[in-house]
A and B are shown apart, each in its own frame.
Chain A
Amino acid sequence: MTPLTSKVCVVGDFAVGKTSVVERFVTNQFSEKYLSTVGVKIDTKEIDFPALGLTHKLVIWDVAGSEEFGSREMAYLRGASGYIYVADGTRSATLKAVERLQDQISEAHGSVPCVLLVNKRDLRQDWEVSDERFDALATKYNDAYQTSAKTGDDVDQAITRLAELIIDNDMRGA
């Protein structure tokens, strides 16, 4: 199968579960322990698209959590083909952080494929994002998911969807 390699960046506020989402996607594991990321963690995973005869290797940059990026973080984003925005459903303020980050990224790099993950779906009892607000986000981001890195719910689906969007984008570019 033809190989395709893409850099994708995972961004969002601190402690929303970015590293856990990547760990769930790459190794199918989850740790309850919170360990803040400094700088960037890099992981890779290949996804096969047999119908397209394609293997898509994602080089995932798990960027340290922030409400707003400085020059160091903006440097990490160079050459990214897609973005995974992650917010915490139990902290509605993290959705505002995602919106700010998206504005910064769009301004610097234009329109790039992305998906939104509203994470920690397993903590629905503490959920602060109403269904109405999520529906509005789904409309704005096209592809929004309520995920749980803990249970794995919709994590694979969301990132696989981003891989598809990047392929579509590459094909249109080609």
Chain B
Amino acid sequence: MELPAQVVSYLQDEFLAEARPFCFLIDENYHLVESWGHADWCGLTGIEPAADMRDAAPFLVGIPITAAQKFEFIETPGRAIVTVHVIPDNGQCYVVLLDASQEHASIQAKQQSVNELRLMHARQHKLIARQRNLISELVEAKSELDHHRREAERISANKSRFIAMMSHEFRTPLASIINYAELAADEGTSSNDIQKSIETISRSAKHLTSLVEVVLDDASLDAGQVELLEHDFDIVSLLNDMAAMMAPMAAEKGLSFATYIDQDVPKTIYADEVRLRQVLINLLGNAVKFTVEGGVKLMATYNDGRLVVTVSDTGPGISIEDQERVFQAFERGRGRAETGAGLGLTITLRLVELMHGEVSLDSMPGEGCTVSVHVPVMAAEDGPTAAVPVLPLPSDETIAAKPLSVLICDDDEDMVNLVEHYLHRSGYGLITSSDSSEAIAKTLKYDPDLVLMDCNVPGVGGIVAARVLREQGYSKPIVALTASKLSDEQKSAFTRFFRKPAPMQELLTEIKRLTH
């Protein structure tokens, strides 16, 4: 049904008033034929009969006029916003421009808001990404700082341990040297005792030298100054040398010593013989040193270009928490009061790493210890050797002890001998012990007049032993003679405290005073 004529007429008037149409007719060459309406509002100028309308209305450039088309929201060079209708008619074409400024303004405002929001969003994303980058850089910087801090702490701890080690390990032989030198210089000392003193001084000096050598070795490794000197050598000979060197040491402690070289181990390999020997001496030396009963075993195998040397012992073993610590400089497993710089395993690990190898440790407290060294080595072409069988060399341990009035507990044999010498001359008898737990038992059993106690001794340790003795009712003097530095609280466990190297006359005077 058609709209009433009055309504159509009304709407036409409304539309024409709002859209302000400007219409022109062009021929096939875009030349103006005729125009209707006002062109002023849409900024078209130069509209004259037969004019090329592409100059006045450049949006016609390139537009084919053979098909009806509509272009919305065109901003003319005169900055009017128009909707352009192209209406072909028998080779000519009507072009109608309608005012679209109001609708354009409304859409533009919305579009502007949307685009600004999108831009803000994009910037926000960028800022978040930058923030993330900054955070990750901060985390990285913090982690690097933490690493440097830990490294500094490690170096500081090493330094502290080094000083502690120097203080303790160097003081003991120094004490022997000083005291035996005084003894030798004493006019009343027999020639036999002078000879014995000189031997002890010499032994202590050698021990000091070996400590210095180990410390220097570690420092060289630390500074990266150690280079491997590789050459072809007889590995079987080296292993046999090791067995020949260690078996007597084990035998002295009543330990068995066994060697097994797998038949796949080549006779000659290309490696640093001196450094490999040093590694084996460290491992075998530790095994013999820490094993009290049972034995030590050295085993060598070769597979896929890797030499594996394993040293097993039936010693006290190492707890899981100590296993990492024992490879750190100046550290020993807890409860291990043996002497040494605490650098053997550190040097071993570093040397093996220098050889591009690894060290593995398998141990549990009370179940012995197995250390394996895996190193890549090239074999010479002389083929594998024959397997070498086990070589057991056992002997018995002996302990000397006699009931006397002063008990001395010290694991340093030279120190015991020195004190024994002076106390004998002063008319004292001695009970000796190298283990603090054993010293407790002997004190309670023989009730000596005085106990002379080193603090850093095997067993529960000198400080705990003194406290246990007090708790068990032992009321006579307990004198500390130690290279360790004690706190006031630790000193309170003792009647008197002497730090090695103590002047022997002063110590004897105090012992006499306390026992009379």
A residues with a Cβ closer than 8 A to B are: 5-7, 14-15, 34-36, 38-44, 59, 61, 64-65, 72, 75-76, 78-81, 91, 93, 126
Contact = CB atoms under 8 A, between A and B. Distances in A.
Interface string B107-148: 110011001101100100010000000000000000000000
Contact of B62 (A40, A43, A78): A78
Query: Which among A14, A36, A65, A81 has the highest number of chain B CB atoms within 10 Å?
Result: A36
A79 B59 CA distance: 10
Given A34-B116, A59-B58, A39 B69 contact: no
Nearest to B104: A38
A35 B75 CA distance: 14
A36 B111 contact: yes
A40 B54 CA distance: 17
Contacts of A61: 59
B119 A39 contact: no
A40 B118 contact: no
Contacts of A43: 77
Nearest to B126: A126
Closest 8 interchain pairs by CB?
Answer: A39-B73, A79-B62, A7-B62, A41-B75, A59-B61, A36-B115, A59-B58, A38-B108
A73 to B, nearest CB: 10
Given A5-B54, A34-B116, A40 B74 contact: yes
B63 A79 contact: yes
Nearest to A78: B63
A75 B62 CA distance: 12
B73 A40 contact: yes
Contacts of B126: 126
A63 B276 CA distance: 80
Interface of B: 54, 58-59, 61-64, 69-77, 81, 104, 107-108, 111-112, 115-116, 118-119, 122, 126
B62 A59 contact: yes
Contacts of A42: 58-59, 74-77
Nearest to A90: B126
B70 A75 contact: yes
A166 to B, nearest CB: 11
B116 A40 contact: no
Contact of A39 (B54, B61, B75, B118): B75
A75 B77 contact: no
Contacts of B58: 42, 44, 59
Given A42-B76, A72-B72, 9 more contacts: A5-B54, A6-B62, A14-B115, A38-B108, A38-B111, A40-B59, A42-B58, A59-B62, A75-B69
26 contacts: A5-B54, A6-B62, A7-B61, A7-B62, A34-B119, A35-B112, A38-B73, A38-B108, A39-B72, A39-B74, A39-B75, A39-B81, A39-B104, A40-B59, A42-B76, A42-B77, A44-B77, A59-B58, A59-B62, A61-B59, A75-B69, A75-B70, A75-B71, A78-B63, A80-B62, A81-B62
Contacts of A40: 59, 71, 73-75
Contact of B115 (A15, A75, A93): A15
A81 B62 CA distance: 8
A80 B115 CA distance: 27
Given A15-B115, A36-B115, A38-B107, A5 B61 contact: yes
Contacts of A76: 71
Contacts of A81: 62
Contacts of A34: 115-116, 119
A14 B72 CA distance: 18
Contacts of B116: 34
A79 B69 contact: no
A59 B56 CA distance: 12
B53 to A, nearest CB: 13
Contacts of B71: 40, 75-76
B107 to A, nearest CB: 5
Contacts of A44: 58, 77
Contacts of B54: 5
A115 to B, nearest CB: 18
Contacts of A39: 72-75, 81, 104
A42 B79 CA distance: 9
B119 A78 contact: no
Query: Which among A38, A40, A93 has the highest number of chain B CB atoms within 10 Å?
Result: A38
Nearest to A7: B62
B61 A79 contact: yes
Contacts of B64: 78-79
Contacts of B115: 14-15, 34, 36, 65
B88 to A, nearest CB: 14
A91 B122 contact: yes
A15 B116 CA distance: 9
B225 to A, nearest CB: 44
